[in-house]
Amino acid sequence: MSKYPTGVENHGGSLRLWFIYQGERVRENLGVPDTPKNRKIAGELRTSICYAIRTGNFDYSSQFPNSPRAQENNNHKLKVSISEMAYKWLALKQTVLAKNTHMRYTSYVKMCLRILDDAKPISTLTHEDMMSLRHELLTGFQLKGKTLERSHKKGRTVRTVNGYMAVMLEMIKFAERNGYTSGSVISDIRPLRKSKSEPDPLTRDEFIRLLDAAKHEQIRNIWILAVSTGMRHGEICALAWEDVDTVNWTVKVSRNLAISNHFTPPKTESGIRTINLTYPAINALKSQMQFTRMRDQKEVVVNLREYGKQRTDICTFVFNPSVTGIRQSKSICYIPGSIAASWNTLLKRAGIRHRKAYESRHTFACWALSAGANPSFIASQMGHTNAQMVFSVYGKWMAEQNGDQIAILNRNFDFNAPQMPHKKLAGIE
């Protein structure tokens, strides 16, 4: 008689499997007679089960639906609290999210857990609970009986609330897929409607006033470069002199800085690009050379998109906070929050209506389109995959140039060809 494969044994005349699950040896009876053919099939089944356990895809209740252990496992899952489920999900997401994105997810989850009763089992979470969560995030009030009580100083914007809810609904969907809930609570929860926000660029007069409000040349240079190139603020923070070609006057964008001391590639693959510099950007970099060009080079670790992969760059950062700081700074480069703070200070000092610092990027796009630049070229300069984003976001500025387009066509379609004579030339039909 053939030997038993590893993990296959006889139990009362039928075959039984044993394997390690969640750190302990478990046994499950297959209920089939002990024959050489069945032993081979049982061995193959055990191998597939072990592989599924190693890869995290093993579902005990699906493989052994009549097993008491499967029922026990299901009962345990249904008792897992919302808080336990949330932190388990966040831990698993670390391998697929950028560090700053994971930190944002964690912040959103913590806030939602404070509003929900995070100690109760996630299996008891209802559709009403999620609707109440969204209402409280949006308004700052929670419903108690028939009255509303303020739970926060103020509500959040629709865009922010949709971001919170998207994270929580993704976590709950994970719980549903893996048997931690007995039914769906998110089937018809849709994002709140929000108005499309239009770009709000600076006018040229406002930009001049903003630059005049800068008390140091470095701050002035930062915002000239930002508005002249459309670079993201994290890309400006991570910009090094090693990325600047001072012969052809181009800038290679290959790094981004979203949070302090954590360098990554740009936001998207198309964000890795070479920017052709305009005269204002060139002059800003020439001005900045006196402050940082001869500073010491630093080795920085760039965390690549593939989990666990890194590269080391040698950088002499173009903008350094110690140049303008009253106290000597240990930071080797700015962080986006510091740049945004300087923007807010300049707007207030210049008496300009407040806008978000990201409007520097919108200002570049709107000014470039108003000047008649090719949308595809603008998209490549800004790091978009194609011109579709430019058309959808900045279409208004393109429409304003329709009159100029006719002038351009008239100039380029002036062939200066002689008119056809009225009489036919001899021999020509």
DSSP 373-411: --HHHHHHHHT-SSTHHHHHHHHHHHHTTHHHHHHHHHH
| Residue 267 a catalytic site member | yes
| Residue 216 a catalytic site member | no
Residue listed under structure tokens 């069945």: 38
Assigned domain for 339 exists: yes
CB 292 within 8 A of CB 320: yes
Instruction: Tell whether 168 and 45 lie within a shared domain.
Output: no
Instruction: Tell whether 72 and 88 lie within a shared domain.
Output: no
Instruction: Tell whether 126 and 154 lie within a shared domain.
Output: yes
Instruction: Tell whether 255 and 291 lie within a shared domain.
Output: yes
Instruction: Give the model confidence (pLDDT) of 201-221 as tens digits.
Output: 999 999 999 999 999 999 999
CATH number at residue 134: 1.10.150
End residue of a domain, out of 161, 177, 193? 177
**Which pLDDT band holds residue 397 (cuts at 50, 70, 90)?**
confident
107: left (phi over 0), alpha (psi -120 to 50) or beta: alpha
To the question of pTM greater than 0.75 for the whole model, the response is no
Instruction: Tell whether 13 and 95 lie within a shared domain.
Output: no
End residue of a domain, out of 25, 45, 77? 77
Quote the CA–CA distance of 339 and 174 in Å, as a whole number: 37
Lowest mean pLDDT among 26-40, 80-94, 143-157, 263-277: 143-157
Active-site choice (16, 46, 233, 361): 361
Assigned domain for 195 exists: no
Closest CA to 45 of 71, 69, 58: 58
Instruction: Tell whether 131 and 17 lie within a shared domain.
Output: no
Instruction: Tell whether 291 and 252 lie within a shared domain.
Output: yes
Q: Which domain holds residue 46?
A: 8-77
Assigned domain for 102 exists: yes
Instruction: Tell whether 264 and 136 lie within a shared domain.
Output: no
CB 266 within 8 A of CB 257: no
Instruction: Tell whether 314 and 211 lie within a shared domain.
Output: yes
Assigned domain for 73 exists: yes
Active-site choice (102, 267, 295, 349): 267
Assigned domain for 100 exists: yes
Instruction: Tell whether 86 and 72 lie within a shared domain.
Output: no
CB 65 within 8 A of CB 103: no
Instruction: Tell whether 16 and 93 lie within a shared domain.
Output: no
Assigned domain for 53 exists: yes
Active-site choice (46, 232, 255, 362): 232
Assigned domain for 212 exists: yes
Count of beta carbons in the 10 Å neighbourhood of residue 345 = 14
| Residue 394 a catalytic site member | yes
Assigned domain for 368 exists: no
End residue of a domain, out of 355, 379, 404? 355
| Residue 105 a catalytic site member | no
Quote the CA–CA distance of 258 and 237 in Å, as a whole number: 9
Instruction: Tell whether 137 and 50 lie within a shared domain.
Output: no
CATH number at residue 224: 1.10.443.10
Q: How many domains does the chain have?
A: 3
Instruction: Give the model confidence (pLDDT) of 152-197 as tens digits.
Output: 667 889 999 999 999 999 999 888 887 788 766 676 788 888 887 8
Instruction: Indicate whether 380 pLDDT > 80.
Output: yes
| Residue 60 a catalytic site member | no
